[in-house]
Amino acid sequence: MFGTTTYHQTIRKMVVAFGSLFNNISVKRTNSSGAVIETIMVPVAYGPKQKFMVRINQPNLNDGRPAIILPRIGFQMSQVMYDGTRKLISVNKNASSVSGNYTTQHNPVPYNFIFDLNVLVKNAEDGAQIIEQILPNFTPDFTVTLNMIPKMNIKVDVPIVLNSVNYLDAYDGDFETRRAISWDMQFTMKSFMYPELSTTGKIIKEVQVPITIPEQEYISDEIGAFDRIKLEDSNRRSTNYIRSQDSSGIIFMETSDSNMIGAANTAVIKIKPTPEDADGTSNDFGFSVSIDNEEVPWR
């Protein structure tokens, strides 16, 4: 849009993260003495509940395979809604250093992503085991950390809120109708959508400031007096504006071979980050100041 292509795989990362939460759920079958005789890992698939119900109620009789194996978990993203309560200042930017380049990105836009989770089982005991492995982890939310924008090193804590839990046991009907037991849950992932990246150039890691130090005779010791810095350039090919030394403070143009009031000492102030490999996007660094390569304490 607007002549640029932006794709950060944000939605894909959220779908994968949500489905991964329910990967390691199992159901244990026991005998009359309570000993575990079978452990079944519950498969997780992306898809609507209606698709699985059709396979249960209308199996393909020409196929020797079972219509569907239960228990099973299915999930899908059903809705995306803008969340104005979490809106950030639109003009603010995040900054990062990528291969020495200064990269920026405007604040993301908050959106809520609604997910539906369906647990299909063939007996009530299996459903109870699965639900008791899910619900205690949501109080009512569970937070996951997603690496949303690797180039910007943006990692976001995304809360997943459990909105509702519904139980359905379709036991009524004729003798040919299969019993369908399902637990239906709805979740909200409070995440963001991210705009395009902008690379503006290299990071400035050293600043040099040439200064002219006034001669002692022009420096006043009187409290409240203003000391005027004398500017000087003897190159006729350049035009420089020089401030006068008198009380008028007039700025005029100087192109003469000689300076205004005698030569003055010239020095160069150098400012560098500490450590020098700081990328400029973190607050965890300082800076050093040197005059003519001599380190001076910064106050």
Domain end: 192, 212, 242, which one?
A: 192
Per-residue pLDDT reduced to its tens digit, 163-220 = 999 999 876 666 566 677 899 999 999 999 999 888 776 677 788 877 665 555 544 5
Residue 252 half-sphere exposure toward CB, CA atoms < 13 A: 11
At residue 272, the pLDDT reads 81
153: containing domain: 10-82+110-192
Give the length of the chain.
299
At residue 275, the pLDDT reads 74
- Could you count the other beta carbons within 10 Å of the beta carbon of residue 283? 4
Model confidence band, residue 221 (pLDDT cutoffs 50, 70, 90): low
State both tokens at 109: 């836009």
79 vs 152, residue with greater confidence: 79
Q: State whether 145 and 214 are in the same domain.
A: no
Mean pLDDT of the chain: 77
Q: State whether 215 and 277 are in the same domain.
A: yes
Asked whether residue 197 is assigned to any structural domain, the reply reads no
Q: State whether 158 and 262 are in the same domain.
A: no
Residue 37 has pLDDT above 70, yes or no: yes
296 vs 103, residue with greater confidence: 103
Model confidence band, residue 230 (pLDDT cutoffs 50, 70, 90): very low
At residue 287, the pLDDT reads 78
Q: State whether 179 and 270 are in the same domain.
A: no
Q: Which residues lie across from 226 on neighbouring strands? A: none
Backbone phi, psi, residue 196, to 5° = -75, 160
Average pLDDT value for residue range 1-30: 90
Q: Which residues lie across from 9 on neighbouring strands? A: none
At residue 259, the pLDDT reads 46
Residue 83 has pLDDT above 90, yes or no: yes
Q: State whether 264 and 187 are in the same domain.
A: no
Asked whether residue 273 is assigned to any structural domain, the reply reads yes
Q: Any idea which of 136-145, 147-156, 241-250, 253-262 has the lowest mean pLDDT?
A: 253-262
Domain end: 158, 192, 226, which one?
A: 192
Specify whether the CB–CB gap between 121 and 70 falls below 8 A. yes
| DSSP of 123-158 | SHHHHHHHHHHHGGG-SSEEEEEEEEEGGGTEEEEE
Q: State whether 186 and 214 are in the same domain.
A: no
Per-residue pLDDT reduced to its tens digit, 237-281 = 545 555 555 555 555 554 444 444 444 456 778 888 777 766 655
Q: State whether 59 and 171 are in the same domain.
A: yes
CATH classification at residue 48: 3.30.2000.40
Looking at the structure of the chain, the number of domains it has is 2
Per-residue pLDDT reduced to its tens digit, 90-126 = 888 888 776 667 788 899 999 999 999 999 998 889 9
At residue 4, the pLDDT reads 76
Look at residue 31 and give its three-state secondary structure: coil
- Could you count the other beta carbons within 10 Å of the beta carbon of residue 121? 23
Task: Report helix, strand and coil shares of the chain as percent, to nearest 5.
Answer: 15, 45, 40
190 vs 36, residue with greater confidence: 190
156 vs 68, residue with greater confidence: 156
Q: Amino acid identity, residue 18? A: F
Asked whether residue 261 is assigned to any structural domain, the reply reads yes
Domain end: 151, 171, 192, which one?
A: 192
Asked whether residue 270 is assigned to any structural domain, the reply reads yes
Over its C-alpha atoms, the chain yields an Rg (Å, rounded) of 35
Q: State whether 180 and 262 are in the same domain.
A: no
Asked whether residue 64 is assigned to any structural domain, the reply reads yes
Per-residue pLDDT reduced to its tens digit, 51-65 = 655 555 555 545 555
